[in-house]
């Protein structure tokens, strides 16, 4: 009977609270487990390295999250990031090598801008052609990959000014720059999604586009915004990768693609759109990183942590099933 009482108590909470609580519990569990089994896990060094590694996946996941809420998917996030990095790298290498620090904001604007343009075009395809987002973004993904490989001849463009090194490896107020960028981006996405009318429209269009249209929401415009935002964040991820590796190579980060989808679903985003919050997503990403870093510290294969990530998603689905049934 005690179990039943706990269950009713849980069911009374809103889904948002539950997802956040679940992800926090998950993070604490991972932290506790690795502190127990991995010697030296609880050190500033570990956390610093995590803070440098997480943001790439984190930004790409944010870029995936918004289209998922709208009931779609953006398979082009990683290659959009590559193309944006490439555009910035070409510009910097061609014109701005002597510009010093000024090259940075220009590269940032170009990267994010190119990403947004790609995204808006994808969004327009989804909205006005009416093709399924998986098809449109798959086309865009393959197109961008081919285009990028054509432009780089399969090699990489490297050698960025010193300023990029600071973005990739420096710290501000003791917080690693990549982490700072990720947190700011997550904050902006959280604000847009949960506290603006555009975000509200994204959720409504995601769960029932027809009803949204009848309510007076411009669903087509919303879709362009969705993919535009997704593209812009991908662009930001591209610039961050450029700064971290001091180079751009097409295909960098493509192994993250499905992990970003996994992270969204892990944090409770509904695969059919309309539901999912930013905060559980950020916390969920942190626990994935804890697993990866912890396993690394134990000297286990990187592939094992990938396997564990997948296992986590399966486990979470099982734990979530009694709550899904209530609808």
Partner 1 sequence: MTELAIRARSITKRFGGFTALDNVEFELRPGEIHCLAGENGCGKSTLIKIINGVYQPEPGAQFDFSGQEAVGHITPSSAKRLGIHVIWQDLSLFPDLSVAENICFDAFVANPLRGIGRAQKLERAQKTIEQLGVQLDPKARVGDLSIAKRQLVAICRVIQAEARIVFMDEPTASLTQKETETLLQIVRRLSEQGISIVFVSHRLGEVLDVCERVTVLRDGKLVGTFPTEGMTQKKLSTLMTGKELDQTPRAGDVDGERMLVLKHLTRRGEYEDISFDLRKGEILGLTGLMGSGRTEIALSIFGMTSPDSGELRLDGKEVKFRSNRDAIDAGVAYVSEDRLNLGLDQQQSIADNTASTVLKELSQPSFFLNPKRIRELCDLWIEKLKTKVSDPMLPVSSLSGGNQQRIVLAKWLATNPKVLVLDSPTVGVDVGAKAGIFEIIRNLAKEGMAIILISDEASEIFHHTDRTIVLKAGRVARSFKTSEVSEEELEGIINA
Which residues contact partner 1 (rule: CB under 8 A)? 14, 194-197, 199-201, 203-204, 207-208, 210-218, 274-275, 327
Rank residues 46 and 205 by Cβ distance to partner 1 and give the closer one: 205
Rank residues 197 and 303 by Cβ distance to partner 1 and give the closer one: 197
Rank residues 35 and 208 by Cβ distance to partner 1 and give the closer one: 208
Rank residues 153 and 197 by Cβ distance to partner 1 and give the closer one: 197
Rank residues 35 and 194 by Cβ distance to partner 1 and give the closer one: 194
3-state secondary structure the chain: CHHHHHHHHHHHCCHHHHHHHHHHHHHHHHHHHHHHHCCCCCCHHHHHHHHHHHHHHHHHHHHHHHHHHCCCCCCCHHHHHHHHHHHHHHHHHHHCCCCHHHHHHHHHHHHHHHHHHHHHHHHHHHHHHCCCHHHHHHHHHHHHHHHHHHHHCCCEEECCCHHHHHHHHCEECCEEHHHHHHHHHHHHHHHHHHHCHHHHHHHHHHHCHHHHHHCCCCHHHHHHHHHHHHHHHHHHHHHHHHHHHCEEECCCCCCHHHHHHHHHHHCCCCCCCCCCCHHHHHHHHHHHHHHHHHHHHCCCCHHHHHHHHHHHHHHHHHHHHHHHCCC
Minimum distance, C-beta of residue 323 to partner 1, in the bound complex (Å): 13
């Amino acid at each position: 009977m005690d179990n039943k009482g706990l269950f009713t108590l849980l069911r009374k909470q809103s889904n948002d609270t539950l997802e956040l609580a679940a992800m926090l519990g998950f993070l604490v569990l991972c932290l506790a487990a690795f502190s127990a089994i991995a010697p030296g896990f609880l050190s500033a060094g570990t956390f610093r390295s995590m803070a440098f590694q997480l943001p790439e996946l984190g930004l790409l996941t944010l870029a995936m999250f918004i289209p998922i809420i709208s009931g779609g998917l953006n398979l082009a996030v990683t290659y959009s990031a590559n193309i944006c990095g490439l555009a910035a790298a070409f510009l910097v290498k061609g014109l701005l090598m002597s510009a010093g620090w000024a090259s940075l904001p220009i590269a940032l604007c170009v990267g994010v801008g190119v990403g947004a343009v790609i995204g808006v075009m994808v969004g327009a395809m989804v909205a006005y052609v009416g093709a399924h987002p998986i098809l449109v973004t798959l086309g865009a993904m393959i197109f961008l990959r081919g285009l990028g490989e054509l432009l780089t001849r399969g090699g990489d463009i490297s050698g960025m000014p010193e300023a990029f090194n600071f973005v990739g490896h420096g710290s501000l107020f003791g917080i690693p720059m990549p982490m700072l960028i990720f947190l700011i981006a997550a904050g902006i996405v959280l604000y847009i999604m949960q506290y603006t009318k555009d975000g509200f429209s994204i959720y409504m269009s995601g769960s029932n586009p027809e009803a949204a249209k009848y309510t007076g929401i411009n669903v087509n415009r919303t879709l362009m915004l969705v993919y535009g935002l997704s593209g812009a964040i991908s662009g930001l991820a591209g610039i961050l990768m450029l700064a971290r590796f001091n180079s751009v190579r097409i295909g960098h980060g493509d192994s993250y693609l499905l992990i970003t989808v996994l992270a969204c679903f892990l944090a409770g985003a509904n695969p059919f759109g309309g539901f999912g919050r930013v905060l559980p997503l950020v916390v969920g990403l942190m626990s994935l990183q804890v697993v990866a870093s912890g396993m690394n510290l134990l000297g286990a294969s990187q592939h094992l942590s990938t396997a564990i990530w997948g296992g986590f998603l399966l486990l979470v689905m099982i734990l979530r099933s009694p709550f899904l049934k209530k609808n």
